[in-house]
Structure 1
Amino acid sequence: MVLISALFKQNRSWILGYSLGTSLYLFFLAAVFPSIQETGLIEGKLDSLPPELLEVFKIDPNLAMDNVINLLAGNYYGLIFYVLAILFALTFASRLMAKPVDSGEVMLYLAAPISRAGYVTASMVLLVIASGMLVGLNGLSLMLANVLFNLQIDIGLLWTLQLNAGLILVVLGALAYVLASLFDDSTRSYMVTGGIFALFLMANVFSGFSDQLDWLNALSIFSLFDANAQIQGESAFRSFIWLGGLLIVAMLLSYGRFTRKDLTI
């Protein structure tokens, strides 16, 4: 608990930055939804955009924009969230693995003495806390907007989306942690991990351009978080199972890799 508390204090600025920043964005978007819905600006905007651009942002033109969650499916829980999740995971892996190893800071923890497995455990707990804070505050901000502006949000659907989003964040963070442990140079680690995640993102985007490219979905972890499909009634159970399995594998790799990693001062 002491190590977890220390790591949280060191990293709370970026954790709160992601959590509060995204929550304020969601709250204000929800707050103005009734006004823009009355003017018909949403439908007009969608009609004016080319289909290819709608695919990039994961906006379903057939989804009626009569609910704020439907609006958020394209204006947050699509490309915006995917990019945010990548940056979140890269920040976590850089701050908890790449930079501490690069600077020799992790050696101070191990001299405390703290075992390598203990450090990985504390890092993973912090990842869960950070992800939980982000999606938790996102959900609470939307619930507050729902009460203040009578948005009639489906609370069950809202928190299903938050749980799915939280799992994506944790899995990406754990994968980034594993990749960061492969390098002693934080810059190289950041570039390689960012490049791999960018490929995931590109595969997800291009898969929507044509039915012949549907197979690209299988190459992207982001296909396991499809807000439009969940809004239209598709169960998220399959996504949860896959993400849970990926998380277990990533965590095992984190322990296996870091406990055998050569560390230099």
Structure 2
Amino acid sequence: MSHFRAPQVSSPTRVLLVCGAMPDNGTCPDENAQSARLTHIARETLETIGIECDVLDLSLVTSECPLHLHPGKDCMSTAMPRGHGPCSCHPQHGLGQTPDRMATIRERWTAAHAVLIITPVHWCQSPGPLKQMIDRLVWADSGGQAAPAKTSELAGFGRPMHLAGRAYGVVVHGDAAGIESSRRPLCDWLDWMGFIDAGAVARLDRCIGCNESGEPGRYALDRALNEQDETRQAAQSIAQAVAELRGGRLKSLQSERPRPG
């Protein structure tokens, strides 16, 4: 039996805010990351209209030792029949792969009605811990059991989609290149996992302080009033999508996961 549980029908509306920034005061003194500030803006926007927020701050993976996020082996993107345990996606105590954050991270994804990812660009890519979490969540979509995963794979391409049906938004920011090429795969991944996008307003890629130097990034964000407002609009779009979703008026256009090409 899978350990995944969908939010209860009667539970308060809950949005998971995933902050992908690595710097925080624990590892970079006097540094308030742009993603962290944009996450705070989104949280204020949602809580003002009565939505419960859970902030998943991935910077804690590096600033709060010995808590770790072990990488997945990416089985399901390279050879789907191998997408079953035991492997490093379920840390082995005998190899010292503990403690590991993924168990609590999965619970927070499953408890949410929607997810909003806010992340910077690291050399045209998502930050490392964000990508590690993605790889682990994709593997977890198999249900975490070897025999059912193998049987499902041999029968075709059908596979349990435990996180499907939630709404999503993505806000990607950078100061040079790579914002669009980073935002697109995040949205593609969420689509593939069966999430329902909250509209174009909630799929942002923006440059903040593009190619500027000589001052902390927080000052560039102070001037980026349009980007701050667009983040509020993205949060509002998430709130509207969740209301439609919980009212049975929002459905995914995908009846099932597409067969890989």
Q: TM-score, normalised by structure 2?
A: 0.29
Q: TM-score, normalised by structure 1?
A: 0.29
Which protein shows a greater Rg?
1
Of the two structures, which has the highest relative contact order with CA contacts closer than 8 Å and spacing of 6 or more?
1
Greater share of residues in helix:
1
Greater share of residues in strand:
2
